[in-house]
Amino acid sequence: NHASIIDGCRLSRAEVAVVRHGEADAFAAALAAHRRARRRWLVTESYFSMDGDSPDLARLRAIADEHQAGLVVDEAHALGVLGPEGRGACAAAGVAPDIFIGTLGKALGLAGAFVAGPQVLRSYLWNRARSFVFSTGVSPVIAAAVAERVARCRADDAGRERLASLGRELRATFPEGSLGASHGPILPWIIGDEEEALAHGRALAQAGILVVPIRPPTVPRGTSRLRITLHAKLSDDELRLAAEAFAARRC
C-alpha cells in the first residue's frame, strides 16, 4: 500500500495486520484472528499505483460484511479515470465502501485530498485528527476549482473512453503480459535491474518521453520498472512515437 496508508495506520495506534498483496482470503483470516477486537477495518487501495492492478473489491466488501468490519478504500489513482462518471473503481465494481478516500491532485489536477463517510466519522475527524486540525484550511480558490473540475470530470466519458483506448493500443505493442494486469492508465514495464531502469529512463527522456523509473525502496529489489502513465490528451502520433521508442529500448 501507499506510504500514506502505512503512516495513517501508525498514527491510529491500532493493532495492524498486514496481508500479502492480492490475496483476498488473507483478509478474512486476519479479521477472524482479531474477532475479539472492538472495531475492525479492512483497508485497501482500489487501484495500485506501482502495478496498475486492483483488488477484488466485491469480494473484500463481502469479507468485511461477513466479519462485521468496515471497508476503507483509497481511490486516489482511480478517481476521475475509472468507473461511471469517473467515480472510481468501487463504483465500477458496484461496491459501496464505508469510508472513501480520494485525492484532488491526480486526475483533477489540483491539490489536497478528502475523506467521505458518515456524519459521525466526519465529525470525529474534524475534531480529533491532528493532521487535519493543525493544517491550514483549503482556500476558496481551490474549493471553487474543485467544484468546477468535478463537474467537468463527471461529464467527460469521452476522455475516459479515449484513455482506455490508448491503454489497449499501447499494450498491444508490447509482448503479452509484459505490462502486468493493469486495466487503467498506469502500465508498469518491469525492468528488474535498478541501473538498467534508470538508463532506460534517461534515454527515453532524451527522446522527449517522460517515463519515471521506479526503484527500491518504492518497489521490492529486483522489480525496478518504468511506470508508463497515459493521459487522454495524447495524440495518435504521440502514442505511436512513444511505442516506437519503447520498442527500441526493448531491442
Rounded to 5°, angle at Cα 41 from 35 and 44: 130
Would you state the pLDDT for residue 184? 87
Exposure string of 80-104, with b = 16+ CB inside 10 Å and e = fewer, is bbbbeebbbbbbbbebebbbbbbbb
Q: What are the tens digits of pLDDT across the range 56-86? A: 999 999 999 999 999 999 999 999 999 999 9
Architecture of the CATH domain 157-250:
Alpha-Beta Complex (3.90)
Would you state the pLDDT for residue 102? 96
Q: What are the tens digits of pLDDT across the range 2-26? A: 888 999 899 889 999 999 998 999 9
Q: Say if residue 251's pLDDT is above 80.
A: no
Q: What are the tens digits of pLDDT across the range 145-172? A: 999 999 999 999 999 999 999 999 999 9
Q: What are the tens digits of pLDDT across the range 36-52? A: 999 999 999 999 999 99
Rg (CA), the chain: 20
Q: Which set of grid coordinates corresponds to residue 227?
A: 511506470
Q: Say if residue 122's pLDDT is above 80.
A: yes
Would you state the pLDDT for residue 177? 82
Enter the CATH code of domain 3-155.
3.40.640.10
For residue 194, give the nearest of 179, 212, 215 by alpha carbon. 215
Q: Which residue has the higher pLDDT, 9 or 181?
A: 9
**Where are the extended beta strands (E) located within the chain?**
41-45, 70-74, 99-103, 113-116, 186-192, 212-214, 224-229
Break the chain into its structural domains and give their ranges: 3-155, 157-250
